[in-house]
């Protein structure tokens, strides 16, 4: 039964092609909760057996995720335009003015958060010159990691467990970087205002 499901996923991923991977990852990048592993791990496997190009998959997947994030960004920016002066939105804007760059880089590396960080970025009108490169960089890391899991471990349950372990390592990385960032930020605040 499991082998049949895995074969269905591989066949589905194979039938998508690069444009299909782009559009699937565009959905992943929006607020629609679609798991990227369903397509990325099997396409990574297909790259390992020579049926797909690893780098074209990486490009189409990361660009699709960025496109979905931009949809969220502009949708949030447009929908909340007349409510930006409300207290809740002012808190979001203040937070993003201070921590937006690190947030849009780390959130896509955290399972379940990546697609949603573009909403507060849009609300706060984070400049695209920061939003695009930080989001794209994080998406390249995430998509590349998922493709590598499929490339190295194949299509079976070993790939799924490797993805779970790898996700935990990425989450640990995010926690360490965020902790260092917050610690450095707090240390800056502890400095006296005068010298």
pLDDT digits (tens, 9 = 90+) for 126-176: 999 999 999 998 999 899 988 988 888 765 566 666 666 776 777 777 778
Residue 186 has pLDDT above 70, yes or no: no
Residue pair 93/123 in contact by the 8 Å Cβ criterion? yes
pLDDT of residue 162: 67
User: How does DSSP classify residue 131?
Assistant: H
Q: Distance between CA 20 and CA 43 in Å, rounded?
A: 11
Residue pair 44/149 in contact by the 8 Å Cβ criterion? yes
Q: Distance between CA 44 and CA 159 in Å, rounded?
A: 10
Q: Distance between CA 150 and CA 147 in Å, rounded?
A: 5
Q: Which two tokens stand for residue 181?
A: 């960032």
How does residue 177 score in pLDDT terms, banded at 50, 70 and 90? confident
3-state secondary structure of 18: helix
CB atoms within 10 A of CB 160: 16
pLDDT by residue (tens digit) across 55-96? 999 999 999 999 999 999 999 999 888 787 888 888 888 888
Residue 112 has pLDDT above 60, yes or no: yes
Separate counts of helices (H) and strands (E) for the chain: 7, 0
pLDDT by residue (tens digit) across 2-55? 666 667 767 777 788 899 999 999 999 998 888 888 889 889 988 888 899 999
pLDDT of residue 156: 59
pTM: 0.78
Q: Tell me what the mean pLDDT of segment 165-193 comes to.
A: 67
pLDDT of residue 57: 95
How does residue 194 score in pLDDT terms, banded at 50, 70 and 90? very low
């Amino acid at each position: 039964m499991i082998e049949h499901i895995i074969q269905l996923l591989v066949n589905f991923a194979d039938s998508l092609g690069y444009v299909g991977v782009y559009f699937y990852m565009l959905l992943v990048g929006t607020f629609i909760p679609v798991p990227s592993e369903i397509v990325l791990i099997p396409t990574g496997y297909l790259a390992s057996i020579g049926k797909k190009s690893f780098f074209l998959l990486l490009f189409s997947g990361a660009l699709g995720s960025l496109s979905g994030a931009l949809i969220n960004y502009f949708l949030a920016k447009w929908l909340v335009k007349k409510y930006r002066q409300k207290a809740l939105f002012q808190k979001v804007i203040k937070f993003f003015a201070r921590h937006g760059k690190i947030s849009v880089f780390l959130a896509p590396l955290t399972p379940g958060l990546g697609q949603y960080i573009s909403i507060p970025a849009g609300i706060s009108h984070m400049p695209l010159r920061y939003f695009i490169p930080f989001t794209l960089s994080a998406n390249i890391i995430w998509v590349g990691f998922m493709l590598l899991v499929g490339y190295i471990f194949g299509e079976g349950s070993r790939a799924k467990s490797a993805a779970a372990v790898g996700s935990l390592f990425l989450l640990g990385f995010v926690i360490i970087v965020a902790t260092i960032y917050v610690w450095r930020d707090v240390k800056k605040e502890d400095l006296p205002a005068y010298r």
